[in-house]
A and B are shown apart, each in its own frame.
Chain A
């Protein structure tokens, strides 16, 4: 169970790195709880265009549709861990 969750986190981190052209990042070394938005030095430093890229990549890979006006989506976009949890709960 834990291993599956960790594998999915890793997969989501890899998806972020390839979808956003940030190959300089190493998925393994990123803290799964690091914030997705905001300061670049403590987290991923993503912006609103990245959110659109990530939402599209997640829909294409897992068939999970994200809606910006839902509280669940806002929470999902907190970190790689929350994003992976959201995918696990909604994937087909």
Chain B
């Protein structure tokens, strides 16, 4: 720690951006084809803030984006910290409540002990938008890995605000005031930035819907006026192409959470007649850089990012004077950005969650009756939307189903191998290693 340097005082930042011309009446949300103004949103958040209980943490599991954003802003206005769990299952919430006892739950559907958040504005008039200390701990975002408890990542109000404005400046400003449909959940960092931080910090509006299937995406976009932007992932882009969905005119498509192939980007640009932009980021840092996938491997850093490579580790400083965060990937600094030299070969990502293959293998080997096993990432296939990890197991006394059931209790089920195949032995070479090609071959032939 650099104790000599006085910490830069964090600025006071408006809870809802009202700086631009006509801001109060401009749309911030689209709800069943109708706009909710910035002033209408701010008034609803202020009213909700008044009736929140006293607590340090607000567990925000609202699904509708208007409700989520209202709850998010209201908790911040009350000096509370939003907890954003990836899952709202009773088990996940019980675990969170015991880890953060001074907390309550904000719901927008059924009240199961907590506060019910309306999915519509309350119609009240706006008096004042509060200024929030940038240093306020606005949210904890969780990464669920393959290991035990989800890990919490703190986001200050300044960092939320900063990511909303830098993402908006880079990706949306060129099209004017855009209207966004996002297929990603706001409890995940990419979704939080693009669907909540952007409308809070910049003059763009978002649909309250979170469409999943291709036909839902088409309808949600059709309910918005142009310019429309689709914020999504490679999985949803594949699904839209696979279903031959005809979308209304788009200004841009934004993709993140997993690498997008240039082949897929090209097909999407042709079918949807819009540029496909990718965001590079992580839960720890938020968005760092962007590129148009078809323009090549160069990533341009977002405004204010400082990238540094030393001792073979890439680190980024998102806001000058704040913490420097090491990245999982190795980057090569290149002009105003970088090239991705490689993702850590051990990491696997499914549905925005990441896990270590070594750890998944270790968990699989720990099951009683398993003699030897390996979990690995096979060559990509064209047949499924998502490539999950696969496993080869030596376990003469167990069925594949028994192994999967046992493994499902030890790891996040999204990482369950597809397929998991039993074999007589693993193709270990003389030093006990497993050559990749031999594994791939055994998987195909098993």
The interface of chain A, by Cβ under 8 A from chain B, is 19-25, 39-41, 45, 47-49, 51-53, 55-56, 59-60, 65-69, 73
Contact = CB atoms under 8 A, between A and B. Distances in A.
A65 B236 CA distance: 15
B413 A52 contact: no
Interface string B256-274: 0000000000000000000
Given A21-B418, A41-B405, A52-B236, A68 B388 contact: no
A45 B235 CA distance: 20
A62 to B, nearest CB: 12
A45 B413 contact: yes
A21 B385 CA distance: 11
Interface stretch (B127-135, B212-220, B283-291, B361-369): B212-220
A73 B214 CA distance: 13
A66 B213 contact: yes
A25 B237 CA distance: 28
A34 to B, nearest CB: 12
B125 interface: no
B401 interface: yes
A83 to B, nearest CB: 14
A56 B239 contact: yes
A24 B212 contact: no
23 contacts: A21-B418, A22-B418, A22-B419, A41-B408, A47-B351, A47-B413, A48-B351, A49-B235, A49-B386, A51-B212, A51-B213, A52-B212, A52-B235, A52-B236, A53-B384, A55-B213, A55-B239, A59-B214, A59-B243, A67-B213, A68-B212, A69-B209, A73-B213
Interface of B: 209, 211-216, 219, 235-236, 239, 242-243, 350-351, 381, 383-386, 388, 400-401, 404-405, 408, 413-414, 416, 418-421
Nearest to A46: B413
A37 B381 CA distance: 24
Contacts of B420: 24
A75 B202 CA distance: 39
B153 to A, nearest CB: 22
A25 B215 CA distance: 30
Which one of A45, A49, A68 has the highest number of Cβ atoms from chain B below 10 Å of its Cβ? A49
B403 to A, nearest CB: 9
A20 B384 contact: yes
Nearest to A24: B400
Contacts of B404: 24, 40
Contact of A40 (B216, B219, B416): B416
Contact of B213 (A20, A21, A52, A60): A52
A23 B419 CA distance: 7
A49 B351 contact: yes
Nearest to B421: A24
A24 B239 contact: no
Contacts of A68: 211-213, 216
Contacts of B209: 69
B388 A21 contact: yes
A73 B414 CA distance: 22
A20 B418 contact: yes
A74 B300 CA distance: 42
Given A20-B384, A24-B400, A68-B216, 12 more contacts: A21-B381, A21-B383, A25-B401, A40-B404, A40-B405, A45-B408, A49-B235, A52-B385, A56-B242, A65-B214, A66-B213, A67-B215
